[in-house]
Structure 1
Amino acid sequence: MARILLVDDEKMARTLYGDYLRASGHSVTAVGNFDEVRQALESAPYDAVVTDLILPGADGMEVLGYTKERYPGIEVVVITGLDKVDPAVRAIKSGAAEYLVKPVAPEALQHAVRRALTTRDLLRENASLRQYVSLLEMGQRIATTLDRERLAIAVSSAIEAQTMANGVLLLLRDGGPLRLHGLSGLEPEQVAELEPVLAAELQGARTPRVLEALPGAPAHVLTFPATDGDLTLGQIVLFFSSPPPENVSEVAGYLSRHYAMALRNLGRFAEVEDLAYMDDLTHLYNMRYLHLVLDREVKNAQQTEGTFSLLFMDLDHFKSVNDTHGHLVGSRLLVEVGRVLKGCVRERDVVVRYGGDEYVVLLRGTDSGGALKVAERIRRTMENHHFVPREGISITLTTCVGVASFPEHARDKGALLDMADRAMYRGKRGTRNVIYMAALDLEATPAERKVAG
């Protein structure tokens, strides 16, 4: 049954009530004053306290208050010889489970303790249920998050709240070695020291682990893999300065599974999103993506006072390729042009098929001077390249390139595109195979210009 602490300054009362409670199968420890109460509670766990209201040097209300404050899981039954309403009301408001007036019959005391223990069990069950519901809601919230940054915040905060961890570190495997995805409760210098060590230690880990003696880490470090089938998508690392709670493996394991589910959904969402932003023929980015990335680039450049440039390109006399060799060869040539352009720029630059035989390149962090150098590299490479040799033919082709830079030539997306387009069109009206820089006096591009070549 239960372990009961009986508090009464009268020896006879302690003996009598102790016998009542032992008859119900409870284990009873009897003490006579407040100091002995504190010593008893510190030395052993109890399920309930039965205390007289009047004690030497203190009273039962102090016992009640001390117990409920320091040991909230223990229920308290108050016994008194005062048959008055006020003490009873005070005791119940202060957290007493029951209030009994002397003389107390055995059945009344046994029933009061039984009801107090039942209340305690119900409260614990209710708290456990609330925690389970909270955990379930957190898991669902994590699994349905389709933004990588918000996912890191959701997982780290949920783990920290549910496990009482002092720190949380999320490591993500995104087609390569583990790298930092999110964190909570850790200092930047700690993260800088721990990240490479953890990434190396957990690279192939597929089961929960306990790590010891990590540099700059709290005493207890637990790791939980976020796995999807045979794939380990990431790792959750928990740091505790004191021994972790008993349910940490259950809670962290549950949330790590939802973390993996979210990462898998993110990957699938990214694949679908890529299809929406990809040109079907060349597999370069399309015009829809260009407008999206330009919005971001303009915003970033405005905030950081940075710069970037656009190259607007149109192939010279492309119509003659279709007329001479057919549209199939023409399509393959357009694909090859995309490969040539990507070979002329950095990985972080963006190459777009704007439509037909027109291409746009966004050069990040590049001013007009740097953009001119890249444009010349493209013009020269295109001029010297022999296209579609696998078709048994060798086609040479040139291009006109218009250059416009933010903020030198324009400060918004539409104006920048228009300036680059006008510069390119000036070359189309002239010698072709040429580069022009944007300028305010350039002729506007005619609406019917879409005739290829």
Structure 2
Amino acid sequence: MNKKILLIDDSRTQLQSLKMTFVKAGYEVITASDGLEGIEMVNRCMPDLIISDIVMPNINGYHLCRLIKNDKNTKHIPVILLTILSNKIDRFWGIKAGADKYINKDISADDLIKEVNEILKDVTPTRYPSNRNTINNITFDEDIYKLKINEILDQALISSTIMNEFRHLSEYFQDDNALVKEIFELLNSILEFDFGGIFFNSTDGKEPKILNFHQNNCKVHDNIFIPVMEDFFQKLFPEENDYYFNYKISGVITDYNKEILSYDEFQSAFVIPIISGKSILGGICLYSKERNNYSELKTFNIILDELKLLMRLRWLYSETKLLTIIDPLTSLYNRRYFNEIIHREYMRSQRTQSNFSVAIIDIDNFKKVNDTYGHQIGDIVLIEISKTILGMLRTTDFAFRYGGEEIVVILTDSSVDGAIYPLERIRKRISEKVYEGNNGENFSATVSIGVASTDQGVMGPEDLVNYADTALYRAKSLGKNQVKIFDPKIDKKI
């Protein structure tokens, strides 16, 4: 069976010339003298390829292409726009209309055949549609197709407007509260929902994962937030520690037209991870008391695509932010970030009635290492010790470069007694590492560690640091290479 080509052109001369060319090349050819007749022939004959002029009365080639590509029954058919129009903008509109090829009419017959052969090389010839009898009874009315074209163009306008609105949101990256507010205001203007949440992931794995809730003209009962949050993060991070999971409610609800007392009241519940490659950029969840199938909306995929782009940009922004809190030599967090985290952890411990510990780790005789082997070897020692510490801490713990050779560790959910064992393991592992000096001589490095915890009656983050530093001083004065806990009976006398 020969492959069928539909030729559409309002010029009889051009139509006959093209028909002879393709018949000679072994193709079955059907013709149409304008866009409306072309649409009729597409539906009646199901060609394997459509070659259409652009400049035609009533329904032009761009509109024809859009109609074909927006119909699920014909969108698979390749379309070549063959035209005398040569401006870049004409080619742009042709491709945007869905054309597979945009070819100038001054192309030679041989080159045109080559282009067509290339497009059709993997196409199996189509048979006449099974619903041919039904199609034969359809009247192909010009006004109906003009209406369809307007609907397609309206949809394209809606799509471009949504895209533009989302792309303006990048200006809010520095203020998550404002970003969440703007996103939900935009979503509320497009989708029907009562309650939703959005989460932006960060390149910093230790950043708390916060689901930002939005109540859309309704009051959601407090007992709903935690189950929704747990379900959301379980779907995005099934194997991750829930230590980092939390939620935040955006805005204060003072005026609402409905109240939701139970999770069971939701008839629609959507949790959608936003993923790029292997990275989870974030996610969104939408809940409604009415049944809503968002996936059936033409605009929903556009919204998801724009959210993905927005979250990708937010992810890149978090990468840039991460560079400002990381020590470039050791890859530990820097001192500026330590000040932020210790205050955050202290407030969390007060709120949850839990404990955490702070340890200050100092490399023994580090000046001697630099003086004997040089600063390059000293940097290697500092880097290797930092790697050892990072490799032995839990994912919920933090390590910071505090000073030249001082490293501070925050051990979350850990009393002073619970901190001793991991710190002793770290100290021992560090002392076992052998380094090669620039003179061929091998040497080892040791550390002294002072530790204090919130269960020792501290009054604030500053006390923790001071107590740990005092315990470190005692470890140094007693011979180094040891861990000492702050002891108020001893250390306050030093």
TM-score, with length taken from structure 2: 0.49
Are 1:224 and 1:237, in contact at CA under 8 Å, matched by a contact in 2?
Answer: yes
Paired position in structure 1 for 2:187 = 159
Match of 2:114 in 1: none
Q: 1:161 to 1:322 in 2, by over 3 A?
A: same
- Compute the displacement of 1:367 (Å): 0.2
Q: What residue in structure 1 maps to residue 472 of structure 2?
A: 424
Q: Pick which of 219-228 and 414-423 moved more.
A: 219-228
Matches of 1:246 and 1:362, distance apart in 2 = 45
Deviation at 1:285, TM superposition (A): 0.7
Query: How far 1:234 moved relative to its partner?
Result: 5.7
Which residue is 1:249 aligned to? 298
1:294 aligned partner, one-letter code: I
> After superposition, what is the alpha-carbon deviation per residue over 1:321-358, rounded to whole angstroms, capped at 9, x for unaligned?
11221110111110000011112221211011111111
- For residue 448 of structure 2, give the secondary structure of its aligned residue in structure 1: strand
The aligned amino acid for 1:313 is I
CA–CA separation in structure 1 for the residues paired with 2:296 and 2:387: 54
SS at match of 1:311: strand
1:272 maps to 320
Alignment of 1:350-429 (within 5 A): 350-387=398-435, 394-429=442-477
CA distance in 2, matches of 1:412, 1:365: 16
Aligned residue pairs: how many? 298
Deviation at 1:316, TM superposition (A): 1.1
Letter of the structure 1 residue corresponding to residue 469 of structure 2: D
Aligned partners of 1:409, 1:220: CA distance in 2, in Å?
A: 49
SS in 1 for 2:458: coil
In structure 1, the partner of 2:391 is: 343
1:333: which partner in 2? Answer: 381
Structure 1 151/326 Cα, relative in aligned 2: closer, same or farther at 3 Å?
Answer: same
Structure 1 164/136 Cα, relative in aligned 2: closer, same or farther at 3 Å? Answer: farther
Stretches of structure 1 that go unaligned for 5 or more consecutive residues are 1-128, 201-215, 446-453
1:21-420 maps to which residues of 2 (within 5 A)?
140-141=168-169, 144-146=172-174, 151=179, 154-156=182-184, 158-165=186-193, 233=281, 241=290, 248-250=297-299, 252-253=300-301, 255-387=303-435, 394-420=442-468
Structure 1 residues 230 and 253, CA, compared in 2 at 3 Å: closer, same or farther? farther
CA distance in 1, matches of 2:387, 2:199: 34
Partner Cα separation in structure 2 for residue 198 and residue 397 of structure 1: 42
Structure-2 separation of matches of 1:228 and 1:420? 43
**Paired residue type of 2:320:** V
Contact 2:199–2:210 (CA<8 Å) still a contact in 1? Answer: yes
Determine if contact 1:194/1:217 at 8 Å carries over to the other structure: no
Identity of aligned residues (%): 25
Q: Which residue of 2 aligns with 1:31?
A: none
CA distance in 2, matches of 1:198, 1:272: 24
Q: Give, in whole Å, the separation in 2 of the partners of 1:273 and 1:419.
A: 31
Read off the aligned partner of 2:192 and give its amino acid letter: M
Per the alignment, in what secondary structure is the counterpart of residue 410 of structure 2? strand
Instruction: Identify if the C-alpha distance between structure 1 residues 155 and 229 changes in structure 2 by more than 3 Å, giving closer, same or farther.
Output: farther
Q: 1:284 to 1:173 in 2, by over 3 A?
A: closer
Unaligned runs of 5+ in 2: 1-156, 239-263
Counterparts of 1:382 and 1:392, CA distance in 2: 20
Alpha carbons of structure 1 residues 374 and 161: separation in structure 2 relative to 1, 3 Å: same
For residues 295 and 389 of structure 2, what CA distance do their matches in structure 1 show? Answer: 58
